[in-house]
Structure 1
Amino acid sequence: MHVSKILSPCTGVCTIAAEDAPLAGHCLGCGRSLDEIGNWRDMDNDARAKIMATLPGRLHRAGLTVASTLMETTAP
């Protein structure tokens, strides 16, 4: 049985918000924190899914556009 893996939400923007910005310390493209980005590769699907569920809200609260790639979360 093959289990799908949750893909990275990276949008290629890769810019960390300044400390005085609404999304301070998080990527302006995907909304992840530096720790989440750094640990993503080693996380299991449950940990990734929990983070993925928070990203659209984080970006929306900061007034940023939620990329359509955040909706395509799994690979076969």
Structure 2
Amino acid sequence: MSVSERVRSPCVSICALDQQDVCIGCHRTADEILRWRQMTDEERRQVLREVAKREEKVAL
């Protein structure tokens, strides 16, 4: 698998953590952001599923 086929970061260059240590831009936790480069694609997909849940909560 080439690097271009890997799961890409959801970063939107709005980097600020809220009170729960979740980025207000990409909705990843500080730990998820720090570990992103070491994660497998499956781990990244799981993070993106969690990100989607967090985004839904913010939208409500």
TM-score by length of 2: 0.84
1:56 deviation in Å?
A: 1.8
Q: CA RMSD in A?
A: 1.5
Shift of 1:37: 0.3
Aligned-pair identity (%): 29
Residue segments in structure 2 that go unaligned for 5+ positions in a row = none
The secondary structure found in structure 1 opposite 2:59 is coil
TM-score normalised by the chain length of structure 1:
0.68
Q: Post-superposition, which runs of at least 4 consecutive aligned residues in structure 1 deviate over 3 A?
A: none
Higher strand fraction (1 or 2): 1
Indicate the structure (1 or 2) with the bigger Cα radius of gyration. Answer: 1
Q: Whose helix proportion is higher, 1 or 2? A: 2
Equivalent runs, 1:1-76 vs 2, <5 Å: 2-3=1-2, 4-18=5-19, 24-63=20-59
- How many residue pairs get aligned? The number is 58
**Which structure is higher in RCO with an 8 Å CA cutoff and minimum separation 6?**
1
